[in-house]
Amino acid sequence: MFEEVASTEQGDLVINIGPQHPATHGVLHLVITLNGETVKKVEPHLGYIHRSIEKMCESLSYRQFIYVTSRMDYLSSHINNHGCAMLVEKALQIEIPSRAQYIRVIMDELTRLASHQLWWGAMAMDIGALTPFFLAFREREMITDIMEETCGARLTMNYMVPGGIMYDIHPDFCKKVKEFIKHFRSKIDEYDELLTGNIIFQNRMKGIGILSKEDAISYGCSGPTARASGVSCDVRKIYPYEIYDQLKFDEVLATEGDSFARYQVRLVEMHQSMNIIEQLIDNIPEGEIQAKTKAVLKLPKGEFYTRIETARGEFGIYIVSEGGTTPYRIKFRSPGFSNLSALDHIVRGHKIGDMVAIMGTLDLVIPDIDR
Amino acid sequence: MTREELQAALTELQSSLTFEEGGEWLNINAPAENFHELALKLRHTSGLYFDYLFCQTCVDWKTHLTMVYHLTSMTHRHNIVVKIKLDRNNPEVTTVCDIWRTAEFHEREVYELFGVNFLNHPDLRKLILPDDWIGYPLRKDYDDPVNMIKL
Amino acid sequence: MLALLKMFIKEYIKDVWGAISSLLKGMKLTGYYFMHHNKEAITEQYPDNRKTLKMADRFRGEVVMPHDENNEHACTGCTACELACPNGTIKIITKMEPTPEGKKKKAIDTFVYRLELCTMCNLCIEACPTDAIKMDQTFEHSVFDRRLLTKKLNKPESKVREGIE
């Protein structure tokens, strides 16, 4: 059943990539067995940024533990916070006002856009194109400015609280978001012009790093990585939360499962995110932004699980509560951890240069894997 | 399948299963013996077809450990939670990473943080912690006076 | 046979032409930005632009306690912020102060704020019932001595504003 564990033969070369290496996007350590230039085996060594957030959360109250999760997947920190707030609301059966729901969804999609933009630039840099990185950061800057104005921080927002959002949106928020969407719609065509059609890029992406549908499911992949292999796994569609069931958007699916499919899924997802924001931005209802909650939150005894679609895939929070003010046990199911486990399977037999490109399309964020 | 249908189908599969009341999804308590056979049945029985293991973890209850498997079916869209009670002094359970490949990493993580020994695992080594680490950090009685800061 | 060869050559030339044109397309875009770099540049000349640089109103830089012209603040020493803080950043030392009626009342002695532990999560400001503390927009926090990061937020000789309970 297993792929034969590749044994090191004479003439094989074992090299280390990382922990400090620009291609691994963080402190990921890969031990690679090479035969010539062909990858025989990849062995990830994790833990260089392990902070034991799960243990830490066991001593934090249900208001406090939300802020820690933005340190996990720092590119979709908003969505992580949202998931945690949703879990507390689900356990305590708090109805949150519709204004807060709308703002939450807009913020989620803006975060997804920003995350995919950064991925686009970083992935292009992995395969050796430097210009896209600067172009992507130029547009991403607009989103971080919007975030900074409304949430007060650029990366670790901590804007979600159990029961709603921390404070109301900035008066300029709607205007700036509309401006950004208009601007980005013209700029995303440049992305296509610069990279998607490029012959060198296509040759390095098409047919490389194929992940079949069965393997994607078996490896627990989620998010754009799995959807590029044809697995329908968008939590926003299958288990809709907040107001996603009232929105019109498509789940982006591809069937090829290669690097180029993963690339295109994310690019089309950016269009979908913009569609979602356009549907909502003019219709934010007036009203409260926070439901009334007690000062000290106590979850009832039991077990709770919530999932949410981050930019990288399905983020799950599992809490075992003993009825106190702090969780008894908390487990974060991070999308990057499962996606990384498929890396060894994908890259076997490819050249080492392709391995870096494949890792770029998996969109790994290391603090999310290590937790 | 609804909760009741799932419960009926699972009882048919293995009569020694007990079910928990409440919770969002159906919670099943399974014995640690022959768990691999049960897992194979869960994965391959048509109608159940739990092909996606989306969360695998362990909970330390001070008297015993509980392995928790969250399973879903990508075709039927139903979820179950399988729990296995383990002895705290000698926790052992058969691996499921030949059924769900994602379990390979999850089990390595549980192995080092809780000390659960997964039988037949192809590559049971420490994944996150350094190789010479002593103790299981996520157990409730773990104490590290040097590195742990208590507020 | 000849037809096949012809088709092959045709395809080949088409491929080469497509490849070159795709490269030129990208080069055109790069060339455009090369010529129009003044219009599109978003780079900020920090620290030369310190005088004109303005952070957003809600930007979370550090916790401060505003004092008015009579050297009075609004902190009653209720320790709500201390309890709300996830990192133990805030420590409030209270003292007993005699009131005009001769009774003793709890009041704040020192508000210790440790910037090096703070993650700017805003939970203390949310928790404060009297709006005594707020987030400042400063962001240049580096110092040469770590001890300077432990700050005393209430000014010396300051006291609670009248009427705040």
Contact C60 A152 (CB under 8 A): yes
Main-chain phi, psi angles of C105, to 5 degrees = -130, 145
Give the separation between CA A63 and CA A89, rounded to whole angstroms.
11
**How many Cβ atoms are within 10 Å of C119's Cβ, its own excluded?**
18
Residues of chain A above pLDDT 70, percent: 98
Give the residue from B66, B128, B138 with the most A CB atoms within 10 Å of its CB, the best one to mutate.
Answer: B128
Which one, of A211, A188, A209, A200, lies nearest residue A121 by Cα?
A188
Give the separation between CA C116 and CA A363, rounded to whole angstroms.
32
Residue C84 near chain A (CB below 8 Å): yes
Is residue A53 one of the residues assigned to a domain? yes
Residue of A nearest to C43 (CA): A138
Which B residues 79-98 touch A at CB under 8 Å?
81, 98
Joined together, the tokens standing for residue A32 give 């690679």
Residue-wise pLDDT tens digits, C4-32: 888 899 999 988 888 888 888 888 888 88
Residue-wise pLDDT tens digits, B117-136: 888 888 888 888 888 888 88
| Domain tally, chain A | 1
Joined together, the tokens standing for residue C46 give 């920090």
Give the separation between CA A360 and CA C148, rounded to whole angstroms.
42
| pTM of the complete model | 0.88
**Per-residue exposure over B38-74, b if at least 16 CB sit within 10 Å of its own CB, e if not:** bbeebbeeeebebbbbbbbbbbbeeeebbbbbbbbbb
Contact A152 C56 (CB under 8 A): yes
Instruction: Please give the full DSSP string across A236-280, using - where no structure is assigned.
Output: HHHS--TTGGGS-------SS-SHHHHHHHHHHHHHHHHHHHHHH
- Strand (E) or helix (H) holding A78: helix A77-92
What CATH number should be reported for the domain holding residue A49? 1.10.645.10
Per the CB < 8 A criterion, the answer to whether A265 and A361 are in contact is no
Per the CB < 8 A criterion, the answer to whether A110 and A177 are in contact is yes
CA of C138 vs chain A CAs: smallest distance (Å): 12
ipTM rounded to 2 decimals: 0.89
Joined together, the tokens standing for residue A143 give 């989103």
Give the separation between CA A119 and CA C33, rounded to whole angstroms.
22
Is residue A8 one of the residues assigned to a domain? no
Residue A200 near chain C (CB below 8 Å): yes
Cα distances (angstroms) measured from residue A205 to each of A121, A225, A252: 15, 14, 19
pLDDT at site A247: 87
Residue of C nearest to A149 (CA): C56
Q: Which domain holds residue A201?
A: 13-369
Nearest by CB: A337 against B53, B105, B151: B105
pLDDT at site A56: 86
Residue of A nearest to B62 (CA): A328
Lowest pLDDT segment from A112-116, C98-102, C137-141: C98-102
pLDDT at site A60: 87
Under the banding of pLDDT at 50, 70 and 90, the label for residue B48 is confident
Contact A305 B52 (CB under 8 A): no
Is residue A6 one of the residues assigned to a domain? no
Residue of A nearest to C18 (CA): A199
Per the CB < 8 A criterion, the answer to whether B36 and B96 are in contact is yes
Please say whether the dihedral angle defined by the alpha carbons of residues C68, C72, C78 and C79, taken in this order, is positive or negative: positive
Give the separation between CA A200 and CA A132, rounded to whole angstroms.
14
Is residue A4 one of the residues assigned to a domain? no
Give the separation between CA B11 and CA B38, rounded to whole angstroms.
11
Give the residue from C12, C15, C16, C22 with the most A CB atoms within 10 Å of its CB, the best one to mutate.
Answer: C22
Is residue A120 one of the residues assigned to a domain? yes
Contact A215 B104 (CB under 8 A): no
Residue A64 near chain B (CB below 8 Å): no
Residue B54 near chain A (CB below 8 Å): yes
Is residue A310 one of the residues assigned to a domain? yes
- Phi-psi bin for B2: left (phi > 0), alpha (psi -120 to 50), beta? beta
Contact A194 C121 (CB under 8 A): no
Residue C23 near chain A (CB below 8 Å): yes
Nearest by CB: A47 against B59, B104, B129: B129
Give the separation between CA A143 and CA A270, rounded to whole angstroms.
13
Give the separation between CA A225 and CA A205, rounded to whole angstroms.
14
pLDDT at site A1: 39
Residue of B nearest to A51 (CA): B128
Per the CB < 8 A criterion, the answer to whether B110 and B104 are in contact is no
Under the banding of pLDDT at 50, 70 and 90, the label for residue C144 is very high
Residues of chain C above pLDDT 90, percent: 1
Residue A106 near chain C (CB below 8 Å): no
Instruction: Please give the full DSSP string across A287-352, using - where no structure is assigned.
Output: S-SB----SS--PPSEEEEEEEE-SSSEEEEEEEE-SSSS-SEEEEE-HHHHHHHTHHHHHTTSBH
Residue A19 near chain B (CB below 8 Å): no
CA of C102 vs chain A CAs: smallest distance (Å): 33
Sort out which chain B residues have CB atoms less than 8 A from A333's CB and list them: 54-55, 70
Residue B25 near chain A (CB below 8 Å): yes
Residues of chain C above pLDDT 70, percent: 98
Joined together, the tokens standing for residue B126 give 């420490």
Joined together, the tokens standing for residue A343 give 């890396």
Print pLDDT tens along chain A (371 aa): 344 455 667 778 888 887 887 777 778 888 888 888 888 888 888 888 888 888 888 888 888 888 888 888 888 888 999 999 999 998 888 888 988 889 999 999 999 999 999 999 888 888 888 888 888 888 888 889 888 888 888 888 888 888 888 888 888 888 999 999 998 888 888 888 888 888 888 888 888 888 888 888 889 888 899 999 888 888 888 888 888 888 888 888 888 888 899 998 998 999 999 999 988 888 888 888 888 888 788 888 888 899 899 988 889 999 988 888 888 989 998 888 888 888 888 888 888 888 888 888 888 888 888 88
Contact C122 A166 (CB under 8 A): yes
Is residue A44 one of the residues assigned to a domain? yes
**Per-residue exposure over A220-254, b if at least 16 CB sit within 10 Å of its own CB, e if not:** bbbbbbbbbbbbebbbbeebebbebeebebeebbb
**How many Cβ atoms are within 10 Å of A118's Cβ, its own excluded?**
21
Residue A170 near chain C (CB below 8 Å): yes
Provide the β-strand partners of residue A43: A31
Cα distances (angstroms) measured from residue A275 to each of A141, A250, A272, A303, B54: 20, 10, 5, 36, 29
Sort out which chain C residues have CB atoms less than 8 A from A124's CB and list them: none
Residue given tokens 């010539």 in the structure block: A36
The DSSP 8-state label assigned to residue C148 in this structure reads G
Which one, of B70, B61, B64, lies nearest residue B85 by Cα?
B64
Contact A219 B22 (CB under 8 A): no
pLDDT at site B21: 78
Please say whether the dihedral angle defined by the alpha carbons of residues C24, C28, C31 and C37, taken in this order, is positive or negative: negative
Residue C86 near chain A (CB below 8 Å): yes
Give the separation between CA A238 and CA A233, rounded to whole angstroms.
7
Contact B74 A232 (CB under 8 A): yes
Joined together, the tokens standing for residue C51 give 């005088």
Residue C26 near chain A (CB below 8 Å): yes
Cα distances (angstroms) measured from residue A269 to each of A120, A155, A228, A316: 12, 21, 11, 21
Per the CB < 8 A criterion, the answer to whether B28 and B82 are in contact is yes
